[in-house]
Amino acid sequence: MESFKERVKNLRKEKRFTQREMGEQLGITMRAYQSYEQGTRYPDFPGLIRLADFFDVSIDYLVGRSDHRERM
């Protein structure tokens, strides 16, 4: 199963967004977003919800607890 950093990176690439664009979409710096993909930092709970909503996936999928993308 993929880790959080792998899921975030793959989802971003599917949408064809740059790391800078992701930071802008989420209201964080590009550097903060990069740290998510590097696995050196994780979003707070509201940030995790924003990511899941943006990618239209469940939080369980995003954090690697499930392989099902669908939100309930």
pLDDT digits (tens, 9 = 90+) for 1-21: 899 999 999 999 999 999 999
Tell me the DSSP string of 16-54: T--HHHHHHHHTS-HHHHHHHHHTS----HHHHHHHHHH
pTM of the model: 0.93
Residue 34: band (very low, low, confident or very high) from pLDDT cuts 50, 70, 90 = very high
What pLDDT, on the 0 to 100 scale, is given for residue 72?
77
Q: Residues 3, 39: contact at Cβ < 8 Å?
A: yes
User: What domains are defined for the chain?
Assistant: 4-58 (1.10.260.40)
Residue type, 64: G
